[in-house]
Structure 1
Amino acid sequence: MSRPKFLPENFTLALIATVVAASELPCRGTAALVVDHLTDLAIALLFFLHGAKLSREAVIAAAGHWRLHSLVLLTTFVLFPLFGLAFKPILSPLATPTLYAGILFLCALPSTVQSSIAFTAIAKGNVPAAICSASASSIIGIFVTPLVAGLVLSNHGEAASGWDAIGQITLQLFVPFVCGQLLQPFIGGWIGRHDGIVGAVDQGSILLIVYSAFSAAVSEGLWHQVPPAALAGLVVADGILLGAALITTGLLGKWLGFNRADRVAIIFCGSKKSLSQGVTMAKVIFASHGAGAVILPLMVFHQIQLMVCAALAQRWGRRAELSAPASAGARSVVMR
């Protein structure tokens, strides 16, 4: 029996189930401490595997495309936060103050790696450049995101000190990543052949963090603080942000003279935000305030970006396939 098209993908269903479980059966006391420690271990393992999986050859091959990478990083860490602040008159009324803080935190996050690369490939874009840009964004975000989040959230009193957060995030994320990179020549091939392991750890760690964060938030009265109208407004707010990012990256890529394949990579790498790094960093940055409500905008944005970018990638991929035979035919005529 085929899967109904209207159903979300499995991981989205798992996220929803996790939020429901945390709402109905939040972990408290000793159980919360156990889940917290398990989450830390899962995060360390996740970034170790990402470090071991990342091919140095692929990164080196595409690293020379500095203009493209600079534009992606500029969009990710400068324009996105500026959008969040500039759109405050529009976004703030749509959500509660805590949700708006979550939107600002979302704006400071690095690009997602897997889906940026996947959508670039589907749309027939520059995949090596996408690998390099998304990976660079992910690594740089370990250090830049806490600082940017500290700046944009300075008036909200939500985030921990940027420098303190960098120290904790470096220990929890960057050190395991570097260890994985050091061992990449020895275990990278095996991990590449067992890609499902990375995916399982990736999704499992996210679900653990979401359960832990929402358990704490529910215990503090999350659903009394976030009415249904605010959730609906959050969907609109996230849609506005994504639309602004897609339009801006597309226009900048065209104005700066990038070819079609490069523009595709710029759009998908520059408009997306990492759920895995976001929930991981939120655990550190908002440790004293509870990260449940703060990561809610990111979870909503994640689903919107997947649906919108999947549709765009498929559409652009079909266009590229249709134009390829025409281009080949034109070249053959010229050669004759």
Structure 2
Amino acid sequence: MMKFKIDKFVLSIIVVVLLAYLFPQFGGNSSPLPLDTIGSIGISLIFFFYGLKLSPEKTKAGLKNWKLHLLVQGCTFLLFPIIVLCFYPLMQTEYNKSVWFAFLFLASLPSTVSSSVVMVSIAKGNVPAAIFNASISGLIGIIITPLWLGLFLNETAANYNLGDVYAKLLLEVLAPVALGLFLHRYWGKIAQQYNHYLSLFDKSIILLIIYKSFANSFEENAFSSINTLDFIIISVAVFSLFYSVYLLTGFLSNKLGFNTEDKITAQFCGTKKSLVHGTVFAKILFPNTSTMGMILLPIMLFHSLQIFIVSFIATRLANRKEAS
């Protein structure tokens, strides 16, 4: 019998959004608390620890299964955005375009690391390949995500400059990762030893950024145009996007002749999107905007959905493996 637990981080997100709704004054533009500064420092530390835990030796060893890697990264950074792009001609109003852009933001994000590896492990998939793809995805996303968004942000945001964006990413993300990689040989084992506490720190910073984003959005009434029907439609669209990519990834895995373990890894890693990178990139790409909460809404729904669905699939696959 399969037992399911509600993910504590998902519950924390719901509580934080509720707090932002009830007490927006602490996260809005007039807040006396320096949440932006704390968030920026926290982001840099998240990626410093990310680099510290990333083993260069394991990364090099993971390069061998190149067909699997190409499929995972292709699904993450090409298939997702292309599916969303197909719906752009249908967006006629400014509201529809803003919702669509939030989905493009979701589609252009890298894969999540921890849950991808955990789920692949539960389902008895190719764990080393999952570690490699989930880890390298975050580095690729630093370059690819702003490029996808830049195609459409230039239409509506005169102050969007890829040079400025990459400068911020270099300072807040890439430089800390590089420093962490350099210090891996000295402190890598310590980082792995305290990985649980580092994960709690990561989630705390993400919750802080989510609170700040939604408090600002609630203060500016950014969600006033979203009614119950719109929320249901957005949720259905998130569900459809996930399953479309999941099924297409499975189809391509079969065509490429992958064994069961590689197919599991392709489907689990190729369909995940990182809420950590989503909140970080949103803070850098859309500074001081009241619509950030709207931009983060699809990725937050996707994050909750992917944990629930993939947990169910992973448990079913694990049980089937044990029964055979």
Give the alignment's TM-score, normalised by structure 2. Answer: 0.92
Map 1:113-262 → 2, pairs under 5 A: 113-151=113-151, 153=153, 155=155, 157=157, 160-262=160-262
Map 1:301-312 → 2, pairs under 5 A: 301-312=302-313
Map 1:46-57 → 2, pairs under 5 A: 46-57=46-57
Cα shift readout 1:248-297 (whole Å, capped 9, x = no counterpart): 11110110111111111111111110000011001111115331110011
Question: 1:74 and 1:183, CA in 2 relative to 1: closer, same or farther beyond 3 A?
Answer: same
Deviation of the 1:107 alpha carbon: 0.4
In 1, distance between residues paired with 2:281 and 2:320? 38
In 2, distance between residues paired with 1:32 and 1:237? 38
In 2, distance between residues paired with 1:128 and 1:152? 36
Contact 1:52 1:188 (C-alpha < 8 Å) held by counterparts = yes
Deviation of the 1:68 alpha carbon: 1.1
State the match for 1:332 in structure 2. Answer: none
Structure 1 residue 39 corresponds to structure 2 residue 29: no
User: Structure 1 unaligned runs (5+)?
Assistant: 324-336
Contact 1:45 1:201 (C-alpha < 8 Å) held by counterparts = no
State the match for 1:316 in structure 2. Answer: 317
In 2, distance between residues paired with 1:317 and 1:237? 29
In 1, distance between residues paired with 2:222 and 2:29? 18
Structure 1 residue 20 corresponds to structure 2 residue 21: no
What secondary structure does 2:309 align onto?
A: helix
Question: 1:247 and 1:137, CA in 2 relative to 1: closer, same or farther beyond 3 A?
Answer: same
| Residue type of the alignment partner of 1:191 | A
Give the alignment's TM-score, normalised by structure 1. Answer: 0.89
Aligned residues: 318
**More deviation in 252-261 or 147-156?**
147-156
**More deviation in 275-284 or 49-58?**
49-58
In 2, distance between residues paired with 1:108 and 1:34? 29
Question: 1:101 and 1:317, CA in 2 relative to 1: closer, same or farther beyond 3 A?
Answer: same
**More deviation in 192-201 or 108-117?**
192-201
Deviation of the 1:106 alpha carbon: 0.3
What secondary structure does 1:128 align onto?
A: helix
Instruction: Decide which structure has the larger Cα Rg and report it.
Output: 1
In 1, distance between residues paired with 2:179 and 2:155? 37
| Residue type of the alignment partner of 2:180 | G
| Residue type of the alignment partner of 2:304 | Q
| Residue type of the alignment partner of 1:13 | L
| Residue type of the alignment partner of 1:15 | I
In 2, distance between residues paired with 1:149 and 1:32? 32
| Residue type of the alignment partner of 1:22 | A
Contact 2:111 2:271 (C-alpha < 8 Å) held by counterparts = yes
Cα shift readout 1:57-111 (whole Å, capped 9, x = no counterpart): 3222212111111111111111110011114478999x84322211110000001
Deviation of the 1:138 alpha carbon: 0.8
Contact 2:223 2:294 (C-alpha < 8 Å) held by counterparts = no
In 2, distance between residues paired with 1:294 and 1:169? 19
Question: 1:154 and 1:307, CA in 2 relative to 1: closer, same or farther beyond 3 A?
Answer: farther
| Residue type of the alignment partner of 2:306 | Q
CA-based RMSD: 2.1
Deviation of the 1:117 alpha carbon: 0.7
